[in-house]
Amino acid sequence: MPADYYDLLSVPRDADERTLKKAYRAAAMECHPDRNPGDAAAEARFKNISEAYEVLSDPQKRQIYDRYGHEGLKSQGFGGFHGANVEDIFSHFSDLFGDFFGLGGGGGRRQARRGSDLLIEIEISLKECLDGVQRELEIPREHRCETCNGSGAAAGTQPQTCQGCGGTGQVQVVKGIFHMSSPCPRCRGQGRTIKDPCKPCHGRGRVRVTKTVKVGIPAGIESGMRLRVTGQGEEGPAGTPNGDLYVAVGVTPDPRFERQGPDLGAEVHVPMVKACLGGTFTFEALDGAVEVTLEPGTQPGTVLRVRGRGLPRIDNRSGRGDLHLRVAVDIPRRLTPAQIDLLKAFDSADSPAAT
Ligand SMILES: [Zn+2]
Ligand SMILES: [Zn+2]
| Cα 200 to middle of ligand 1, angstroms | 5
* Mean pLDDT over each residue of the chain, to the nearest integer: 84
Stretch 218-235: mean pLDDT: 90
Stretch 175-196: mean pLDDT: 82
pLDDT digits (tens, 9 = 90+) for 261-301: 999 999 999 999 999 999 999 999 999 999 999 999 999 99
263, 312 contact by CB (below 8 A): no
Return the half-sphere exposure (C-beta side, CA atoms, 13 A cut-off) of residue 202.
2
Does the predicted model carry a pTM greater than 0.85? no
Give me the phi and psi of 320, to 5 degrees please. Answer: -130, 160
pLDDT digits (tens, 9 = 90+) for 153-180: 988 888 889 988 888 888 887 777 777 7
Q: Can you point out the beta strands (E) in 126-194?
A: 133-144, 160-161, 170-175, 178-183, 192-193
| Cα 140 to middle of ligand 1, angstroms | 18
What pLDDT does 150 receive?
A: 83
At residue 84 the predicted structure's pLDDT band, cuts being 50, 70 and 90, is low
| Cα 197 to middle of ligand 1, angstroms | 8
Q: Enumerate domains of the chain plus CATH numbers.
A: 5-110 (1.10.287.110), 118-159+194-252 (2.60.260.20), 258-348 (2.60.260.20)
What pLDDT does 81 receive?
A: 61
What pLDDT does 104 receive?
A: 32
Distance CA(48)–CA(27), nearest Å, equals 11
At residue 331 the predicted structure's pLDDT band, cuts being 50, 70 and 90, is very high
| Cα 181 to middle of ligand 1, angstroms | 30
What pLDDT does 342 receive?
A: 95
Query: Any bridge partners for residue 150, and if so which?
Result: none
Distance CA(185)–CA(164), nearest Å, equals 8
CA distances from 187 to 171, 238, 333 (A): 11, 20, 80
Near ion ligand 2, which residues have CB within 5 Å? 162, 164-165, 184, 186-187
Q: In degrees, to the nearest 5, what angle opens at C-alpha 164 toward C-alphas 163 and 170?
A: 125
Percent of the chain exceeding pLDDT 70 equals: 87
Top pLDDT among 257 and 71 is at 257
pLDDT at position 94 over 70: no
Top pLDDT among 347 and 93 is at 347
